[in-house]
Structure 1
Amino acid sequence: MFKFIVPQGQSNQLCAVLDMTPCIERASRTGKYVSITIEEHMSSPDEVVMIYQKASTVPGVLAL
């Protein structure tokens, strides 16, 4: 399971960069941020690292 927080308006960009479905989105209480949860089976640690490297290309992303 991967969890990210992005500023409002960046969630589509993150989901497109990661090219993983489904991206479950939930807005923050103030609507300023969106949390994104992705459940995906990985077969190696290198795949996990690759996901975080891809996500880091989106401005303002926080990985949890």
Structure 2
Amino acid sequence: MKEKFDKVNFREKLLASGEFPMLYMFKFIVPKGKKDEVSDVFPKNKVELKESSGGKYISATIRIMAESPDQIINYYEEAAKIEGVISL
């Protein structure tokens, strides 16, 4: 069963991690056919893609200059809509 995302706790951790704006790195694992959907979540940012050794999955790394914890949370919520996505 998928664990429920604790938005309040995560927001507090982001606020405690430093001052905004800050450089923030997202990492996702998606099925190979879903890589364009990850890029669509981050249209203004470079998405670094790396295929898994078995070729079934793609890891995506995105670095953004985040203006607020809420911006980071919004990106995670959009990415969570992608079928089969795993947020790291």
Q: Which has the higher contact order (CA 8 A, sep 6+)?
A: 1
For residues 8-54 of structure 1, give each alpha carbon's deviation from its aligned partner in whole angstroms, at most 9, with x where no partner exists: 11011121133242000000000010000001010110001000000
Letter in 2 for 1:32: K
TM-score, normalising length: structure 2: 0.69
In 2, Cα distance between the equivalents of 1:18 and 1:54?
Answer: 10
C-alpha RMSD of the superposition: 0.9
DSSP-derived class of the 2:58 partner? strand
Structure 1 residue ranges, 4+ long, deviating more than 6 angstroms after superposition: none
Instruction: Judging by fraction of residues, say which structure has more helix.
Output: 2
Q: What 5-or-longer segments of structure 1 have no aligned partner?
A: none
**Identity over the aligned pairs, expressed in percent?**
38
Rg: which structure is higher?
2
Count of residue correspondences: 64
Q: How does 1:34-49 map to 2 (within 5 A)?
A: 34-49=58-73
